[in-house]
């Protein structure tokens, strides 16, 4: 029972065969676009924690089709879950009961690219890696990168306001998305696919959809400002002896590398041990073990200039014992390998059976203490250990430290209520006490909908509820998620 104590909204209609006939007509009677069997992939989330019972997946090819589908669903009170790559980590992209899944997978065309301004316009269903490969051919880069790039869609990224590995350099999607095409719950197409960097005419409505996780409208097109692709990229992978030294390395890397610093990521020792098992590697980039590792990336336009800067930073950091060991990528392959040791932690955290993921923002000085305190608590409750009898294998910390974003992953052998109630609301209370956010970048989805109050005030939550009522009065879009919207 993955959705205990939850009631299907009574005002939602049950799907009938007439509805399916109607959707088939809208989708040109193409059987590949109306799926009624083998729906496990769509019903289940990436972490296999949540499983809904949808019996219908629609895969429109055009914005007009999305509009027709939503109009019909709104008129008939049929609930809909928008789904992109289904890589979300908070159970937001899957149905809870029998909601229709609307997959954006077939809206996958690049619409236009302007190589003077760097503005890309594309369908929401373009896979992030494909968008970036297209941009690379034109000498540009997508201003977002994350471990799920091979599967997630740019529309899904915008819907979750994904942060990722280079937010430090390129900022959040709230800055780089210039416009959106969105289908509202009643089928209205809101076209604001702008190419303007500056536009102060009225409310910036597109911002509402960025990070709204499919609760206000379905994003069908994205206009995004893309930077020039850096010609010189370098990666240093460093071993560090204390969390204080990690923070020092961050401050000094900004001093020494300034405009060429493009990522500052950190991982603790146990996260690297998990990656080693996951990647089935005998050795690690650094021979000796260190309590912490950092990955620093530089991106610039002149390799010699950037190399000199990186070398002088590393010299300073070694001489002053901020960093005790390190390796710098010598070629593109090594660079990818070093990044892989960071990016693989997310998947590695699941190898023992499952994982409880907490994605939090906290002022940097307090960040790692959350991992330590959680370990103590798990041990006080006798839940963590090396042998099978303990449900928890390990608690690891890693993430985008340059952005004040920690990923606390509790790797478990099995999901259990005992572990869950040991961690929650403890972790959320800890975060509130330290003035943090309970969701730095993954969103609320199903997992965190009951906990938004730890990061947002009642006034803010009420305004959100009013907005939902305005945009989606019948609550058909992504119901039971985000916050407790009810009629």
Cβ-based nearer residue to ligand MLT, 218 or 410: 410
Is residue 233 close enough to count as binding ligand FAD by CB under 6 A? no
The DSSP code sequence of 284-297 is -SSSS--SEEEEEE
Q: Which sign, positive or negative, has the C-alpha torsion 195, 196, 201, 202? A: positive
467 backbone dihedrals φ, ψ, rounded to 5°: -65, -40
Identify any residues that bridge with 228 across adjacent strands, giving them in sequence order.
140
Are 200 and 159 spatial neighbours (Cβ–Cβ below 8 Å)?
Answer: no
DSSP 229: P
For 255, 257, 299, 302, 308, the CA distances from 313, given in Å and listed in that order, are 9, 7, 15, 17, 9
Is residue 152 close enough to count as binding ligand FAD by CB under 6 A? yes
Please pick, from the candidates 60, 88, 95, 300, the single residue that binds ligand FAD as defined by CB under 6 A.
Answer: 88
Are 403 and 167 spatial neighbours (Cβ–Cβ below 8 Å)?
Answer: yes
Helix, strand or coil, per DSSP, at residue 220: strand
Which span (108-116, 162-170, 193-201, 287-295) binds ligand FAD, by CB under 6 A?
162-170
Is residue 124 close enough to count as binding ligand FAD by CB under 6 A? yes
Could you tell me the smallest distance in angstroms from the CB atom of residue 94 to ligand FAD?
8
Cβ-based nearer residue to ligand MLT, 393 or 407: 407
| Residue 247 partner contact from ligand MLT, ligand FAD, none using kind-dependent CB cut-offs of 5 to 8 Å | none
Rg of the chain taking only CA atoms, in angstroms = 23
Question: What string marks each residue from 355 to 394 as x (binds ligand FAD by CB under 6 A) or -?
Answer: ----------------------------------------
Is residue 52 close enough to count as binding ligand FAD by CB under 6 A? no
Question: What string marks each residue from 440 to 479 as x (binds ligand FAD by CB under 6 A) or -?
Answer: -xx--x--------------------------------x-
DSSP 356: E
Cβ-based nearer residue to ligand MLT, 124 or 410: 410
Instruction: Spell out a b/e string for 188-221, using b for 16 or more CB atoms within 10 Å of the CB, else e.
Output: ebbebbeeeeeeeeeeeebebbbbbbbbbbbbbb
Query: Token pair 């109009």 is at which residue?
Result: 71
Is residue 346 close enough to count as binding ligand MLT by CB under 6 A? yes
Q: For residues 69-98, which are near ligand MLT according to CB under 6 A?
A: 89
Closest by CA to 397, choosing from 411, 378, 418, is 411
Please pick, from the candidates 79, 85, 147, 402, the single residue that binds ligand MLT as defined by CB under 6 A.
Answer: 147
Please pick, from the candidates 70, 101, 218, 314, the single residue that binds ligand FAD as defined by CB under 6 A.
Answer: 218
- The two tokens of residue 240 are 């560090």
Is residue 153 close enough to count as binding ligand FAD by CB under 6 A? yes
Name the residues that contact ligand FAD, by CB under 6 A: 46, 81-89, 92-93, 104, 124, 146-148, 152-153, 155-157, 159-160, 162-165, 213-214, 218-219, 346-347, 441-442, 445, 478
Name the residues that contact ligand MLT, by CB under 6 A: 89, 147, 345-346, 357, 359, 399, 407, 409
């Amino acid at each position: 029972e993955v959705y205990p104590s939850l009631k299907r909204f009574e005002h939602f209609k049950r799907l009938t065969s007439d509805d399916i006939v109607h959707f088939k007509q809208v989708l040109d009677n193409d059987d590949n676009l109306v799926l009624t069997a083998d729906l496990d992939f769509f019903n289940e989330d990436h972490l296999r924690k949540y499983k809904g019972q949808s019996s219908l997946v629609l895969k429109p090819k055009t914005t007009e089709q999305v509009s027709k589908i939503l109009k019909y669903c709104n008129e008939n009170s049929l609930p809909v879950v928008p789904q992109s790559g289904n890589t979300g980590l908070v159970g937001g992209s899957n149905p809870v009961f029998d909601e229709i899944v609307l997959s954006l997978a077939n809206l996958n065309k690049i619409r236009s690219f302007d190589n003077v301004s760097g503005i890309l316009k594309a369908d929401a269903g373009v896979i992030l890696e494909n968008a970036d490969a297209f941009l690379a051919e034109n000498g540009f880069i997508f201003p977002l990168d994350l471990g799920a790039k091979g599967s997630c869609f740019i529309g899904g990224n915008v819907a979750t306001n994904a942060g990722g590995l280079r937010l430090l350099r390129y900022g959040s999607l709230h800055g780089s998305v210039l416009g959106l095409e969105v289908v509202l719950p009643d089928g209205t197409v809101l076209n604001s696919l702008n190419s303007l960097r500056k536009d102060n005419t009225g409310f910036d409505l597109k911002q509402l959809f960025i990070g709204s996780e499919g609760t206000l409208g379905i994003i069908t097109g994205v206009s995004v400002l893309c930077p020039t692709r850096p010609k010189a990229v370098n990666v240093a992978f460093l071993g560090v002896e204390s969390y204080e030294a990690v923070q020092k390395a961050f401050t000094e890397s900004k001093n020494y590398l300034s405009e060429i610093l493009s990522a500052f990521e950190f991982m603790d020792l146990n996260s690297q041990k998990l990656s080693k098992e996951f990647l089935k590697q005998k050795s690690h980039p650094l021979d000796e073990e260190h309590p912490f590792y950092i990955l620093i990336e530089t991106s610039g336009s002149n390799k010699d200039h950037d190399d000199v800067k990186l070398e002088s930073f590393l010299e300073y950091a070694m001489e002053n014992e901020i960093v005790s060991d390190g390796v710098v990528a010598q070629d593109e392959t090594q660079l990818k390998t070093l990044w892989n040791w960071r990016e693989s932690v997310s998947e590695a955290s699941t190898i023992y059976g499952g994982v409880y993921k907490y994605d939090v923002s906290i002022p940097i000085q307090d960040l790692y203490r959350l991992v330590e305190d959680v370990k103590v608590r798990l041990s006080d409750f006798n839940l963590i250990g090396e042998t099978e009898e303990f449900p928890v294998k390990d608690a690891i910390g890693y993430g985008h430290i340059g952005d004040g974003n920690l990923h606390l992953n509790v790797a478990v052998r099995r999901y259990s209520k005992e572990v869950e109630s040991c961690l929650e609301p403890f972790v959320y209370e800890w975060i509130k006490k330290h003035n943090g956010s309970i969701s730095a970048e993954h969103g609320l989805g199903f997992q965190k909908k009951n906990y938004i109050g730890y990061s947002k005030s009642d006034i803010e939550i009420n305004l959100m509820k009013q907005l939902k009522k305005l945009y989606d009065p019948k609550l058909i879009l992504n119901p039971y998620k985000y916050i407790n919207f009810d009629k």
